[in-house]
Amino acid sequence: MFKKITCLLALCLFLSPSLSYAEEESENTKSVGVAIGASAKPIVLQKPWAAYYADKAPLSSFDPYDLIVFDSQDHPQLKPLSDRGKTLLGYLSLGEIEKIRPYYRAVKSENLLLDENKNWPGSYFVDVRNKFWAKRVIEELIPQLLHKGFHGVFIDTLDNPIELERQDPEKFKGMRDASVTLIKAIRYHYPQIPIMVNRAFEILPELGEHITMVLGESMYSSYDFTNKKYQKVNENDYRDQVSKLQNFKKSFPKIRVMSLDYWNPEESEEIKKIYNIQRANGFEPFVSVLKLDHLTIEPK
């Protein structure tokens, strides 16, 4: 694994040397990020967890959860939940940007955007190799999340740069390695914040010492956009993904491994089945609707 601090010299290609967050350390714990937003919290987290990308649910509906992933824009009040001991992660997409994000125009003007994601109209792939993207993530986007009151970040869409390089190795050469370097840079500048990474199975072994949690999204069930219905994932794909996460967990036993599957909230028996299957796999499960704008309570 990448242990030595000297390896971070490579980040000079990515970042300004003035980016020195959270360098001071007390006897027992470091501050979270740049000592802004929510107060420092230990990274020892409790079960269960939830993901919710809206602001309508009453605060009391989050009582069962100790860890909650929220959208960085549309979310309930954070301070009351933090005061109740909840650990809150804010959504941060590293591999693509939606038009609705407030920094979209600025990123576009810096020529950081690539093609539109055909599966998600209005969302554009990002050139993660560009040092200005890394600079924006570390100097602006993460500090903004911490100022809002989030304790850490949920990192999404890292599969995209990896897949782009796979499809066109010449045009997108370096996208995979840049993704790894960016995560290491985030950890370097924010040594104590919880970091959850979604999927990115190919590079997970290189990220194991730099993240707190990994999420396997849509491993057992997902959504069929063509037929507009929830469905089970292909058996071979399911087994392959489970195997990758289980092997990762063996290599990094201290890292929490979560699963997120999607299903019709009215079919409680199937949802209960998904929870049981993922727990049997050794994961911490959550099941919700595709848009994550409805908090589906686990059936008993």
Residue 229 lies in a domain: yes
* Domain membership flag for residue 18: no
Across the chain, which has 300 residues, the per-10-residue mean pLDDT values are 35 41 32 37 63 96 96 96 97 94 91 89 94 96 97 97 96 98 98 97 97 97 91 96 97 97 96 97 97 92
Question: Is 35 inside a domain boundary?
Answer: no
Domain with 129, as residue range(s), is 47-288
Residue 16 lies in a domain: no
Distance CA 232, CA 297 (A): 20
Whether 25 is covered by a domain: the verdict is no
Closest CA to 96 of 110, 117, 121: 117
Can you give the pTM of this predicted structure? 0.84
Within a domain: 123: yes
Residue 12 lies in a domain: no
Residue type, 39: S
Q: What is the CATH number of the domain that holds 276?
A: 3.20.20.70
Q: Looking at the 3D structure of the chain, how many domains does it have?
A: 1
Position 8 in a domain: no
Helix axes 175-189, 159-167, angle to 10 degrees: 160
List all residues 6 or more positions away from 293 whose beta carbon is below 8 Å from its beta carbon: 52, 53, 54, 56
